[in-house]
Amino acid sequence: MDGARNWYPPASILRMIDALAYNKMNRLHIHITDSQSWPLEIPSLPLLAEKGAYGPSMTYDSATLAFIQNYGAIRGVQTYIEIDMPGHTSSIAYSYPELIAAFNIQPHWDNYAAEPASGTLKLNSSAVDSFLGTLFDDLLPRLSPYTSYFHTGGDEVNVNAYMLDDTVRANDVAILQPLMQRFVDGIHAAVRKAGLNPIVWEEMLLTWNLTLGSDVVVQSWLSDKSVVKIVRKGHKALAGNYNYWYLDCGQGQWLDFYPGTSSQQYYPFADYCSPRKNWRLMYTYDPLAGVPANMTHLVLGGEVSIWSEQTDPVNLDRQVWPRTCAAAEVLWSGAQDENGRNRSQITASPRLSEMRERLVARGIMAEPVQMPYCTQNGTQCAL
């Protein structure tokens, strides 16, 4: 759940925890900061949220975060957070501009970042090291009573940003790789000191070829091949191919395009992961596809993601539910039945419709699966 592109009141997060528990899902990963905003209050670094949040009421203080985690723990949902780094960190520049390279380059931000505003933590800076030490000393001990994990991010790092990093001045991976190794080693040491296990996005292992500790969980998102590569390197993996399990896909572009060539190039303005991932497609995804039988134990589970460029408290429930119920069944029961065939939509559809009704009865505004004609008449809507 992405709490940085759009802000969610605690009630939305608590309702998400309830829905997860109803569906036997036992983790909630909150991507709580990003380039667009820093809503997380850090008492020892108060300017982060004061200047980085969308507004003074759109923050999460320490008590609120603890309440959310405790609420989840009581319901069997372990809630952990992600502070993505070194990329996706330009919101830090509003309070500590000296820590960020390539901040908000306009109009060509896309040369330096996946999304505006561009900016990345400097990669060879003692000031960054000191800042992160203060951040982790404050935050991690408060998280550790409620979770075993802390997500340190690592996705979509654009090497061009380091051309504008006065501590590096290079975009050559051969130069950057040892600096990235040092950076990740430092933050993971802090995570371990707090008694937590680090989680990273797959790029840290598969793109940057970092040496990671055996305790590090690697989260895949780019393809089925990623899971196979991760486990073949001996690491624990989380599956979640965006071609199947990204819930925000198919909404159309959220970027605006200038008239002319750019507009024509992107017409009719589909987003990068269109089309929408309907529940039937989600139901066909096999998190263990291609994984050797003697390595399946390394796939700890899977994750369904709702990024928030076009999702907020108004449409959150129907974006997530009941499609995520289909993923929950795949994760608990496997993508294939006892005969080795993909599980049947014909039998799943009425069960999913019933589950949707249960969610609605419990205050979760899940969207409909089919019209009542189909749910009342057996298999008459099967083709």
Active site residues: 156
Residue pair 168/176 in contact (Cβ under 8 Å)? The answer is: yes
Q: How many CB atoms lie within 10 A of CB 274?
A: 14
Closest C-alpha among 53, 235, 33, 3 to residue 132: 33
Residue with tokens 């940003």: 161
Q: Can you tell me the distance from the alpha carbon of 365 to that of 231, in angstroms, rounded to the nearest whole number?
A: 37
Q: Say which residues have a Cβ less than 8 Å from residue 23's Cβ, sequence separation at least 6.
A: 324, 325, 328, 355
Token reading at 355: 């589950």
Q: Can you tell me the distance from the alpha carbon of 353 to that of 126, in angstroms, rounded to the nearest whole number?
A: 55
138: left (phi over 0), alpha (psi -120 to 50) or beta: alpha
Token reading at 109: 């931000």
**CA dihedral in degrees (77, 78, 81, 82; nearest 10)?**
-100
**CA dihedral in degrees (339, 340, 343, 346; nearest 10)?**
-50
